[in-house]
Structure formats: structure tokens, C-alpha cells
């Protein structure tokens, strides 16, 4: 489990982080965010079409729907149950459901996530991509004419029009597009890729697959709708020429910044100290005289072991010859009150 809320710990690939180490979590979040900029510049919305949780979860939701005859509410209830099972032991949670003995908070969160799942993946689906996701709005700032995107070859497809399979498109003065509109029907956001690049396109390539199937049935060459760049489509660039254009200044700058972030994080984690301590003077009492003419000062030490192994620490004080110290454990197992004594 990546988050142990009770002990306030975060586990990331074997690395144990505490709230005091939030800077590491920030850097770990910066890496995927900057990687998104880099990958979008190179190959468009691959993240949205293939790896984004919204897209992947919606596809899984649809798969479950097909297996249980489209009962979206049942799917949402099951996902709500499994999500709550990440925080409550799943076996005891299932037993409580069987006995109808769920607690009020468990019942609330199961029903809440059932509603959220149904609304997100069952009802709204790709509408989230069109209206709620800000990424579609600012992606144009990361795209250029050498970015790999889903394109429609107008020179090959136009003028479009229906015809029989045996008809010669050249004799009819028609292009390869038979105007079947299947590319529009399969598009999850309902756009027509033949009108050019649109911000609603999530790069799922459903239009490419269905168009290639139609071209195969018509005995035409595939690739009427394909992954290509705007420069590659306009200038007829070969695959090797398009590959050379990948290494352009914008991509190089993004790559260097990403490499610097990863290197800085790796070095910082490698050099981090597993021992952390806060020394706070006791605010309840100032320096005071005690027996044998000693002046007593009380400090509170909060010691943190940032590893998962048992550690032993020895607390000493120096600065005056013969300076004695006395440690007393406080109510918290990792806090100690240290008394330093010196002659008055």
C-alpha cells in the first residue's frame, strides 16, 4: 500500500517518505508532469489515448458492462466496494456486507464512490475529456507541425463519395474516402477527423482502425487516416526524415530539463540522511538551580528514524568540561526530554 495514513508514511518504490520529506514527493510529481510535456511535443496525446486513468478505466468499465449486460450501477457499486477495501481489510469488509453490518462511514464511501464511478465512467465518459479536462485546452502550446498526430490525408481521400466496391474511383473522379462516416461513429468524442486536428481528439486511434478495415474491404491502400505530422503530410516526408525532425530544439530543451530534474532527485535521495532530530528548549521552565549547585536546562529532542530498520542513537552534549546529561523518555516513544547540567 503506497500510503500508510495511520503512521504518516508514503512508500514509493521501496523509498519511505514522511510528511517532512514532502519535497521528494513534489519532485516525483514534477517528473511525470514534465514527461507529459515532452511526450506531447513528440507524439501528441498518446497519454490521453492509451495511458490516462480516465481512458483506461472507461475501457475497463465498458468491458465489465459487456459481461454483465450493461448494468452500469452494479459496476459502480463493485468499484466503490473495492476502493473502500483499500483502506478497510477487504475480507472483513466483505463479511460485513454479507451480514448487512457496514458502519456508517463505510456505507457512505461505498455509495459515494459508486455514484462517482457511475457518473465518471458510466454516464459522462469522454465528456470529461471535452469539458472538464484542462489538458485539451493548453495542448496546442506544446504541439507544432512536426508533432506526431492523427491526420486525414486529404490529397488521397478527397473528393469523397460513396461508390461500389468494383467501381474505379479515378473514373468517378473520387478520392479514397467513401464517406461512410464510420470514423465519426467510432470516435469517443464524436468529432470528424476529416476536418483536421481538433482539441477534442484524444488520440485513441479508433478512427485509424476502422478506416483501415474499410480500405481493406475496398481493396484500397491503408493509411487514409494515420499517425503523421503536419509537415510530413504536406511535404511528403519519409519515415527517416520525420524521425530526424524529432530532435528539434523544443524536444531537446524538454529532455535536458527532465534529465536535470531526475538527476537532482536521484542525487538528493542518495545523499539524504535517515536520521532527523528537532531540538526544542522546554518552554515550561527556564534554567533553574538544582542540588549540588548545578544549573539545569531542559530540552526536548524529537528523533525520527527515516528507515524501516531498528536504529540505536546515543545522545551526548559537549562544550563544558564534565557536563553531564540525563535522558528521560516522554509520553511519545520517539521523544525524549534531555537535561543538561552545569556548575553554577
C-alpha cell read off for 309 = 530498520
Q: Tell me what pLDDT residue 332 has.
A: 42
**Cα 317 from Cα 308, distance rounded (Å):** 27
The number of helix segments (H) and strand segments (E) in the chain equals 14, 10
Contacts of 263 (CB under 8 A, 6+ apart): none
Is there a contact between 38 and 46 (Cβ–Cβ < 8 Å)?
Answer: no
Partners of residue 328 on adjacent β-strands: 337
pLDDT at position 2, please?
Answer: 61
User: CA-CA distance, 206 to 184, in Å (whole number)?
Assistant: 10
d(CA 231, CA 268): 42
- Burial label for 119, CB within 10 Å (0-12, 13-18, 19+), is middle
Model pTM? 0.66
For 4-69, give the DSSP string: ETTTTEEEETTEEE-GGGHHHHHHHHHHHHHHHHHHHHHHSSHIIIII-HHHHHHHHHHHHHHHTT
pLDDT of 327: 67
pLDDT at 259: 94
Please tell me the predicted confidence (pLDDT) of residue 313. 80
Across 77-173, the runs of DSSP E, i.e. the strands, are 149-152
Per-residue confidence (pLDDT) for residue 3, from 0 to 100? 63
Q: Do residues 274 and 305 make contact, with C-beta atoms less than 8 angstroms apart?
A: yes
Alpha-carbon span 271 to 265, nearest angstrom: 10
Alpha-carbon dihedral angle through residues 4, 9, 12, 16, given to the nearest 10 degrees: -140
Give the helix/strand (H/E) hosting 290. strand 288-290
List CB contacts of 71: < 8 A, sequence separation 6 or more: 65
Of residues 177, 236, 187, the one with CA closest to residue 207: 187
Query: In whole angstroms, how large is the CA radius of gyration of the chain?
Result: 31
Q: Give the integer Cα–Cα distance in Å for 283 and 290.
A: 18
| Three-state secondary structure call for residue 131 | helix
Local structure of 326: helix, strand or coil: strand
* Grid coordinates belonging to 184: 465519426
Q: Give the dihedral of Cα atoms 230, 236, 240, 242; nearest 10 deg.
A: -10
CB 175 within 8 A of CB 160: yes
Is residue 294 classed as helix, strand or coil in its secondary structure?
Answer: strand
- In tens digits, the chain (344 residues) has pLDDT values of 466 666 677 777 767 777 777 777 788 888 988 888 898 888 888 888 888 877 887 777 777 777 765 555 557 667 777 777 766 677 777 777 777 777 777 778 777 777 777 777 777 777 777 777 777 777 777 888 888 889 999 989 999 999 988 888 888 999 999 999 999 998 888 889 999 888 888 888 889 999 999 999 999 999 999 998 888 888 888 878 888 888 889 899 999 999 999 999 889 888 877 777 888 887 777 777 777 777 777 888 878 777 777 888 877 777 777 777 776 665 444 444 445 555 54
- Cα–Cα distance measured from residue 190 to residue 127, given in angstroms and rounded to the nearest whole number: 10
**Which residue, 73, 98, 77, 103, is CA-closest to 88?**
103
What is the pLDDT, as a whole number, of residue 337?
A: 47
* Interacting residues of 276 by C-beta distance below 8 A, sequence separation 6+: 20, 303, 304, 306
Amino acid at each position: 500500500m503506497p500510503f500508510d495514513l495511520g503512521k504518516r508514511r508514503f512508500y514509493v518504490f521501496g523509498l519511505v517518505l514522511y510528511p517532512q520529506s514532502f519535497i521528494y514527493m513534489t519532485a516525483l510529481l514534477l517528473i511525470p508532469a514534465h514527461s507529459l510535456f515532452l511526450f506531447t511535443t513528440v507524439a501528441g496525446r498518446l497519454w490521453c489515448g492509451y495511458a490516462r486513468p480516465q481512458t483506461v478505466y472507461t475501457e475497463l468499465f465498458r468491458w465489465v458492462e459487456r459481461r454483465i449486460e450493461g448494468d452500469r450501477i452494479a459496476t459502480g457499486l463493485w468499484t466503490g466496494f473495492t476502493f473502500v477495501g483499500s483502506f478497510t481489510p477487504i475480507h472483513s469488509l466483505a463479511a460485513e456486507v454479507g451480514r448487512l453490518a457496514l458502519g456508517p462511514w463505510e456505507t457512505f464511501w461505498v455509495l459515494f464512490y459508486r455514484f462517482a464511478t457511475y457518473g465518471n465512467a458510466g454516464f459522462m465518459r469522454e465528456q470529461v475529456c471535452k469539458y472538464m479536462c484542462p489538458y485539451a485546452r493548453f495542448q496546442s502550446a506544446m504541439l507544432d507541425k512536426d508533432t506526431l498526430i492523427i491526420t486525414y490525408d486529404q490529397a488521397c481521400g478527397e473528393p469523397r463519395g460513396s461508390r461500389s466496391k468494383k467501381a474505379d474511383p479515378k473514373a468517378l473522379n473520387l478520392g479514397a474516402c467513401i464517406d461512410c462516416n464510420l470514423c465519426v461513429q467510432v470516435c469517443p468524442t464524436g468529432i470528424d477527423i476529416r476536418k483536421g486536428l481538433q482539441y477534442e481528439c484524444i488520440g485513441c486511434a479508433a478512427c485509424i482502425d476502422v478506416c483501415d478495415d474499410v480500405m481493406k474491404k475496398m481493396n484500397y491502400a491503408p493509411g487514409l487516416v494515420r499517425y503523421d505530422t503536419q509537415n510530413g503530410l504536406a511535404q511528403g516526408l519519409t519515415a527517416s526524415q520525420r524521425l530526424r525532425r524529432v530532435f528539434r530544439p523544443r524536444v531537446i530543451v524538454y529532455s535536458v530539463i527532465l534529465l536535470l530534474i531526475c538527476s537532482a532527485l536521484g542525487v538528493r535521495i542518495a545523499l539524504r540522511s535517515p536520521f532527523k532530530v528537532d531540538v526544542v528548549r522546554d518552554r515550561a521552565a527556564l534554567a533553574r538551580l538544582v542540588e549540588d549547585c548545578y544549573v539545569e536546562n531542559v530540552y526536548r529532542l524529537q528523533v525520527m528514524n527515516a528507515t524501516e530498520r531498528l536504529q540505536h542513537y546515543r545522545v551526548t552534549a559537549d562544550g563544558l568540561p564534565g557536563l553531564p546529561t540525563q535522558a528521560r523518555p516522554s509520553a511519545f516513544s520517539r521523544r525524549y526530554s534531555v537535561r543538561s547540567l552545569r556548575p553554577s
